[in-house]
Amino acid sequence: MRVTVVGCSGSFPGPDSPASCYLVEADGFRLVLDLGNGALGHLQRYVGLFDVDAVCLSHLHPDHCLDMCPYWVVRTYAPYGARPRIPVYGPAGTAHRLALASGLDPAPGMTGAFDFLTLSPGHCKIGPFKVTTDHVNHPVETFGFRIEHAGRVLAYSGDTGQTDVLCELARSADVVLCEASFLEGQDLRAGLHLTGRQAAEHAARAGAGQLVLTHLVPWNDPAATLAEATSVFLGPVSLAAAGKVLDVGD
């Protein structure tokens, strides 16, 4: 399983990265995990515009889903006709929200381009991946993910405050892609985001192999986020960066 960080900027795009977007590939299948603002541009560096097989949205904050609006334009008005529908997994209300964001009548909204499927806690199969989802700790309905393929495991936190759910999703995972939006010492709001230290504590409790810190907010010092995490998690820790490729399990 190969993961390309398309965008890892937290809450809004930064000078060097779009907002959240990850391309997860195995057996020729291409799953886009979140499509935040700015991500559709960079995504084209790694996959053809029409070669995405499925999209999964962790939640409906703009920095995780807003580039679905231009992607609907791409698939609907493509030269030589609209492209076949692809599945889009997201929280309840995804189709309605994205239609409004694009100024479309919700009926039919974007359903000509996307087959909207509502996520709920549990297991599902997306292409070659076994995907486990559960609710994490964020002000709107938000999912964390455990994605398994060929005995390897990627866990993705989505946006979350502290939660045991993340430890379960990341249990013995090869790689945990975990948000680290806050720095220790800031005025932290509960149930919103994690610090680098808290991300590391969750990864350590999960017994994960490797921690990659993501959702890095441009006004923070990324070196400080990394330092917080390396003081807690004893395995390999790194910062996500646009274009970074993770070979999960290799």
Binding site for Zn ion (CB under 5 A): 61, 159
Which is closer to Zn ion, CB of 159 or CB of 174?
A: 159
State the DSSP code for 87. Answer: E
157 or 225, CB closer to Zn ion?
Answer: 157
**What is the 3-state composition of the chain as percent helix, strand, coil, each rounded to the nearest 5?**
20, 30, 50
Nearest distance from C-beta of residue 34 to Zn ion, angstroms: 10
Min dist CB 105 to Zn ion, Å, is 27
Shortest Cβ distance from residue 191 to Zn ion (Å)?
11
**Is residue 26 within 8 Å of 1, Cβ to Cβ?**
yes
Minimum distance of Zn ion from residue 237's CB (angstroms): 23
Transcribe 47-70 into DSSP letters: S-TT---EEE-S--SHHHHTTHHH
Q: Which is closer to Zn ion, CB of 14 or CB of 209?
A: 14
**Which CB sits closer to Zn ion, 45 or 189?**
189
Q: How far apart are CA 217 and CA 189, in angstroms?
A: 15
- Residues 100, 4: contact at Cβ < 8 Å? no
Q: Which is nearer to Zn ion, 53 or 141 (CB)?
A: 141
The Cβ of residue 223 has, within 10 Å, a number of other Cβ atoms equal to 9
Closest separation between CB of residue 179 and Zn ion, Å?
Answer: 9
Closest Cα partner for 237 from 193, 188, 202, 190? 202
Q: Are strands 152-156 and 143-149 parallel, antiparallel or unpaired?
A: antiparallel
Asked if residue 244 lies in contact with residue 219, where contact means CB atoms within 8 angstroms, the answer is no
Specify the residue, 61 or 97, whose C-beta has the smaller distance to Zn ion. Answer: 61
DSSP output for 224-237: HHHHHHHTT--S-E
Residue corresponding to tokens 């239609």? 99
